[in-house]
Structure 1
Amino acid sequence: MSRTRTLRGHALLATGAGLATAAALTLAGTATALPTGAAAASTTVTPAGHYFKATLSGKATFKAGSVTVTCSVSVSAPTSPTGTDAKNQIPAAPGNTNASGPVGGPLSAPTYSSCTSSLPGVTSTVTTSGNWGVSVQNGSPVTAGLTIPTGGFVLQTSGLASCTVTAAPTSAATVTGTWTNGAPSKLAFTNVSVPVKVVGGFGCPTSSTTSTFTVAYDVTDVTDPAQQITVTG
């Protein structure tokens, strides 16, 4: 799934930070591996088989060098019509339970818009593509792993600085965040680092090899809006 959006400031998208944020969540299909060190406790995600939507809560910020990009709109939703595929779907039972590890699956590539940049005179577009994924591991706190496919997030700027920032440039990258049950539940990544490659001329942070981002998503049940997406043991 590919989406291009003018980032009201994804100017340097922390050279790829947006990529990690976009990913925001998926609990369906094949589990996405969590970073080494995640507790191998039992994990159950409910309601089994339901589809979910991830909507940006607050603002997403991306930093690369001295450049900061702030976005106020980001969404990852099931493929339309709902039920077309397993993206943004909690696995059906018993796949929604793992006795000794995380539960995860494919995620629709998130879109970004309404962004602003700390660089004056710069406009940006973002394209997301490929097979995104997310997994959750029960614990205190509940751990989340977001996987960005190789080159799955590309930020291009124009104006005073013409740059191309590619996240996970050589291989898929997984970043770690937290999940909080609630109404709605939340998926958050705070000051997370993702590898990037920056190409461009004057004003572009071409020496940067990583970018950091902070973002949080509200996760809601699309199949039955009256229910909540919950992670337990």
Structure 2
Amino acid sequence: MSRTRSALALAMAAAGALTLASVTATAAPLPAAGSTTVTPAGHAFKATLSGRATLKAGAVTVTCSVSVATGTVPAAPGNTNPAGPVSSPISPPTYSSCTASLPGVTPTVTTSGAWQVSMQNGSPITATMKVPVGGLVVQTTGLANCTVTAAPTAPANVGGTWVNGAPPSLTFTNASVPVTVTGGFGCPTSATASIFNAVYKVTDTTNPAQQITVGP
């Protein structure tokens, strides 16, 4: 009787594995990305922080009230991708007028490297900001001397959304950015990610009467 039960159990397990393999093999592929066009082609733009930007690592939050980045929409035909996003290099965003949630602590944010922003048309329109390796560093002085390095070992893709308008906006809501934290007492050295929140208004600096627009 025990051999019969064992054989039955093995047969059922084999049948289950076969069924799972069949489901996996026949799973539908992910849908292809739709077409994206960013206009006006070749126009320069400026992204200016609206409100405040926050970067939170562990129990420490750094808040900045000034941030700016610039870039250029690719010239035609590079401003159109029939099956995916359109990418533009941007200047490393600057961050100033920053404060820390810890009393007696002064933060300084520095950025460097080759930054990029990509737009994918859809509902909503998605935006991805690429942070190069070590491209953003937060240093605090005072009662806690800490160094927070974003994208410490590999470029990081920070997800956000784009809304067309006059002017259009680029929003990052609770976006996760990998970080390493070093320092002594008061530094969140166990943190491996920082939460980023910011809203940028984007203006066409080639022709201020026009708007940067993302469409199909």
Q: In 2, Cα distance between the equivalents of 1:187 and 1:202?
A: 36
Query: Contact (CA 8 Å) 1:38, 1:143: kept in 2 or not?
Result: no
Query: Contact (CA 8 Å) 2:125, 2:161: kept in 1 or not?
Result: yes
Q: CA deviation at 1:94?
A: 1.0
Partner SS for 2:108: strand
Q: Deviations over 1:92-148 (max 9, x none)?
A: 111111111100121100101111211011112121000000100000000101100
Q: Deviations over 1:78-99 (max 9, x none)?
A: xxxxxxxxxx110111111111
Task: Give the counterpart of 2:56 among 43, 60, 63.
Answer: 63
Structure 1 residue 110 corresponds to structure 2 residue 110: no
Task: Give the counterpart of 1:125 among 108, 111, 114.
Answer: 108
Q: In 1, Cα distance between the equivalents of 2:169 and 2:76?
A: 22
Q: In 2, Cα distance between the equivalents of 1:119 and 1:148?
A: 26
Q: In 1, Cα distance between the equivalents of 2:93 and 2:127?
A: 16
Query: Contact (CA 8 Å) 2:62, 2:107: kept in 1 or not?
Result: no
RMSD of equivalent CA atoms:
1.2
- Matching residue of 2:152: 169
Q: In 2, Cα distance between the equivalents of 1:181 and 1:191?
A: 21
- Matching residue of 1:41: 34
Larger Cα Rg: Structure 1 or Structure 2? 2
Q: CA deviation at 1:160?
A: 0.2
Matched residue pairs, number?
187
Q: In 2, Cα distance between the equivalents of 1:141 and 1:187?
A: 12
Map 1:1-233 → 2, pairs under 5 A: 40-77=33-70, 88-233=71-216
Q: In 1, Cα distance between the equivalents of 2:42 and 2:74?
A: 5
Higher helix share: 2
Q: Which has the higher contact order (CA 8 A, sep 6+)?
A: 1
Q: CA deviation at 1:39?
A: 5.7
Q: In 2, Cα distance between the equivalents of 1:179 and 1:193?
A: 17
- Matching residue of 1:25: none
**TM-score of the two chains, using structure 2 as the length reference:** 0.84
Q: In 1, Cα distance between the equivalents of 2:122 and 2:54?
A: 27
Letter of the 1:178 counterpart: T
Query: Contact (CA 8 Å) 2:47, 2:68: kept in 1 or not?
Result: yes
Letter of the 1:203 counterpart: G
Q: In 1, Cα distance between the equivalents of 2:69 and 2:36?
A: 23
Partner SS for 1:212: strand
Q: In 2, Cα distance between the equivalents of 1:76 and 1:38?
A: 32
Q: In 1, Cα distance between the equivalents of 2:151 and 2:63?
A: 20
Partner SS for 2:72: coil
Query: Contact (CA 8 Å) 2:151, 2:179: kept in 1 or not?
Result: yes
Gaps of 5+ in 1: 1-36, 78-87
* Residues 53 and 190 (structure 1), Cα distance of their counterparts in 2 relative to 1, 3 Å cut: same
**TM-score of the two chains, using structure 1 as the length reference:** 0.78
